[in-house]
């Protein structure tokens, strides 16, 4: 079975590589020390510190495997200034809600890098799907549970 390609910006790739390095070098060592200390407390059959540390170890090892798999299938998006007339992955876009004149600024990224709290939306999200490939000045309709929202693409950087 072919694994899904993971699309990242250069910044997103750097963040994943740093997280992986931190997990392997720092977190593994910290949790190993916690397990050692918990074992020193004696009977591990009823030792909550030991159980917590083992659970954290399992989580860390799972996350390491996930990150390594993602990094094997990564494609870093590169773009040039000539792309700035069309919405593309990695672009910063300003949208205007045509109903209430509110403006929103987003960066369009792959799903692995999406973080709505940092205004990074996925190309697989309803808004991302609606705007990708569109030009500055175009109006797009986005289907949402409450109906349809119309956005005008104001800027693409």
Task: Summarize pLDDT for 46-63 with one digit per residue, the tens.
Answer: 778 888 999 999 999 999
Q: So what's the pLDDT on residue 80?
A: 58
Q: Following DSSP, what letter does each residue of the chain receive, concatenated? A: -PPPPEEE-HHHHHHHHHHHHHIIIIIHHHHHHHHHHHHHTS-GGG-HHHHHHHHHHHHHHHHHHHHHHHHHTEEE----GGGGGB--TT-EEEEEETTT--EEEEEEE-TTT-BGGGTEEETTSHHHHHHTTPBTT-EEEEEETTEEEEEEEEEE-
Please compute the mean of the pLDDT values over residues 141-155 and round it to a whole number: 91
pLDDT tens string 17-30: 999 999 999 999 99
For residue 28, the Cα-to-chain-centroid distance in whole angstroms is 23
Q: So what's the pLDDT on residue 81?
A: 53
Copy the structure tokens of residue 93: 């876009």
Q: So what's the pLDDT on residue 83?
A: 57
Q: So what's the pLDDT on residue 2?
A: 61
Band of residue 38 on the pLDDT scale cut at 50, 70, 90: confident
Band of residue 151 on the pLDDT scale cut at 50, 70, 90: very high
Band of residue 45 on the pLDDT scale cut at 50, 70, 90: confident
Residue for token pair 């059959």: 45
Q: So what's the pLDDT on residue 3?
A: 74
Average the pLDDT over each of 79-88, 92-101, 107-116 and give the range with the smallest value. Answer: 79-88
Domain segments of the chain: what residues? 6-76, 81-156
The span from the CA of 151 to the CA of 145, in Å, is: 16
Look at residues 73, 66, 59 and name the one whose alpha carbon lies nearest to residue 20.
Answer: 66
Task: Provide the mean pLDDT of the chain.
Answer: 90
Q: Which CATH number fits domain 81-156: 3.40.430.10, 1.10.3720.10, 3.10.50.30, 3.30.70.260?
A: 3.10.50.30
Q: Which CATH number fits domain 6-76: 3.40.109.10, 1.10.287.180, 3.10.580.10, 3.30.70.330?
A: 1.10.287.180
């Amino acid at each position: 079975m072919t694994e899904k390609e993971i699309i990242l910006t250069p910044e997103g790739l750097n963040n994943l590589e740093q997280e992986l390095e931190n997990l392997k070098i720092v977190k593994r060592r910290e949790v190993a020390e916690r397990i050692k200390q918990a074992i020193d407390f004696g009977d591990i059959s009823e030792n909550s510190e030991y159980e917590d540390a083992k659970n954290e170890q399992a989580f860390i090892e799972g996350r390491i495997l996930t990150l390594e798999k993602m990094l094997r299938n990564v494609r870093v998006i590169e773009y040039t200034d000539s792309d700035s007339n069309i919405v593309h992955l990695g672009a910063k876009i300003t949208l205007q809600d045509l109903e209430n004149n509110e403006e929103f600024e987003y960066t369009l990224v792959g799903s692995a890098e999406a973080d709505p709290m940092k205004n990074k939306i996925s190309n697989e999200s309803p808004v991302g799907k609606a705007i990708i490939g569109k030009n500055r000045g175009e109006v797009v309709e986005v289907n949402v549970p409450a109906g349809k929202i119309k956005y005008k693409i104001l800027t693409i950087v």
